[in-house]
Structure 1
Amino acid sequence: MCRPLLALLVCGALLSGSSVAVRAAPGPVVRGYAYGEHPRQTVTEYGTKGPALVILHGGYWAEDTDWSDWAGWFAERGFRVYDTDYRLNSDAPWDAQRVDALAALRWVADRNGGVRPLLLGSSAGGQIATVAGTYGAGASRVRGVVALSPVATPYRAWVDGARDGADRNQRRLRREAARLAGCDPDRDGRRCWDRWADMAARTHASGAEDAPMFLVHSAEDFVPAAHAHDLAFAQRVAGGTDTRLRVVPGAAHGAKLLDDDGVRRSVLRWLREHA
Structure 2
Amino acid sequence: MRTAVGTAAGVGALVLASFLLAPSAGASARVSDPAPNSSASPTPSPSPSPSATTSDVRIRTFAYGTHVRQRMDVWWHETGPRRPAVFVIHGGWWSGGDKKYMTSVSRSFSQLGYTVVNLDYRLSGDAAWPAQRADTLDVIATVRRHAEQFNTDPDRYVLLGFSAGGHLATAAGAYGDGLPGLRGVVGISPVVSPLTAYADGQGDGASLEQRKLRKAAIVLAGGCSPRQCPAVWSSMEVPYHATAGDAPVMTVHSADEFVPPYQSGTLKQALAEVGVPMTVKTMPGTQHSAPLYREPGVADAVQKWVADRLGH
Between 246-255 and 20-29, report the one with greater CA deviation: 20-29
Q: Is the 8 A contact 1:89 1:180 kept in 2?
A: yes
In the alignment, the residues of structure 2 paired with residue 34 and residue 64 of structure 1 have an alpha-carbon distance, to the nearest angstrom, of 18
Q: Is the 8 A contact 2:20 2:61 kept in 1?
A: no
Structure 1 letter corresponding to 2:92: G
Structure 1 residue 187: Cα displacement = 4.9
Q: Is the 8 A contact 1:58 1:126 kept in 2?
A: yes
In the alignment, the residues of structure 1 paired with residue 252 and residue 226 of structure 2 have an alpha-carbon distance, to the nearest angstrom, of 30
Aligned residue number for residue 40 of structure 1: 69
SS at match of 1:221: coil
Q: Is the 8 A contact 2:19 2:62 kept in 1?
A: no
In the alignment, the residues of structure 2 paired with residue 96 and residue 16 of structure 1 have an alpha-carbon distance, to the nearest angstrom, of 20
SS at match of 1:137: coil
Structure 1 residue 89: Cα displacement = 0.3
After TM superposition, the structure 1 = structure 2 runs for residues 1-275 of structure 1, keeping only pairs within 5 Å, are: 17-20=20-23, 21-23=28-30, 25-27=32-34, 28=54, 29-48=58-77, 50-65=83-98, 66-113=101-148, 114-185=154-225, 187-188=227-228, 192-206=229-243, 208-240=244-276, 242-275=277-310
Q: Is the 8 A contact 1:123 1:149 kept in 2?
A: yes
Q: Is the 8 A contact 1:130 1:145 kept in 2?
A: yes
Structure 1 letter corresponding to 2:171: V
TM-score (norm. length: structure 2)? 0.77
Structure 1 residue 204: Cα displacement = 0.5
Q: Unpaired runs of 5+ in structure 1?
A: 1-13
Structure 1 residue 15: Cα displacement = 11
Number of residue pairs the alignment of both structures matches: 257
TM-score (norm. length: structure 1)? 0.87
Structure 1 residue 74: Cα displacement = 1.5
| Cα distance change on mapping 1:162 and 1:48 into 2, 3 Å | same
Structure 1 stretches (4+) deviating beyond 4 angstroms?
none
In the alignment, the residues of structure 2 paired with residue 140 and residue 121 of structure 1 have an alpha-carbon distance, to the nearest angstrom, of 19
Q: Is the 8 A contact 2:72 2:120 kept in 1?
A: yes
In the alignment, the residues of structure 2 paired with residue 68 and residue 262 of structure 1 have an alpha-carbon distance, to the nearest angstrom, of 20
In the alignment, the residues of structure 2 paired with residue 185 and residue 256 of structure 1 have an alpha-carbon distance, to the nearest angstrom, of 30
Deviations 1:236-264 (A, max 9, x none): 12232x21111111111112222123111
Structure 1 letter corresponding to 2:29: V
The structure where helix makes up a greater share of residues is 1
Q: Is the 8 A contact 1:122 1:147 kept in 2?
A: yes
In the alignment, the residues of structure 1 paired with residue 205 and residue 268 of structure 2 have an alpha-carbon distance, to the nearest angstrom, of 27
In the alignment, the residues of structure 1 paired with residue 155 and residue 250 of structure 2 have an alpha-carbon distance, to the nearest angstrom, of 20
Structure 1 residue 146: Cα displacement = 0.5
Structure 1 residue 86: Cα displacement = 0.6
SS at match of 1:33: strand
In the alignment, the residues of structure 2 paired with residue 134 and residue 232 of structure 1 have an alpha-carbon distance, to the nearest angstrom, of 12
In the alignment, the residues of structure 2 paired with residue 32 and residue 263 of structure 1 have an alpha-carbon distance, to the nearest angstrom, of 28
Q: Is the 8 A contact 1:106 1:141 kept in 2?
A: no
Structure 1 residue 142: Cα displacement = 1.7
In the alignment, the residues of structure 1 paired with residue 135 and residue 146 of structure 2 have an alpha-carbon distance, to the nearest angstrom, of 16
Identity %: 37
In the alignment, the residues of structure 1 paired with residue 241 and residue 232 of structure 2 have an alpha-carbon distance, to the nearest angstrom, of 13
| Cα distance change on mapping 1:186 and 1:273 into 2, 3 Å | closer
Structure 1 residue 117: Cα displacement = 2.0
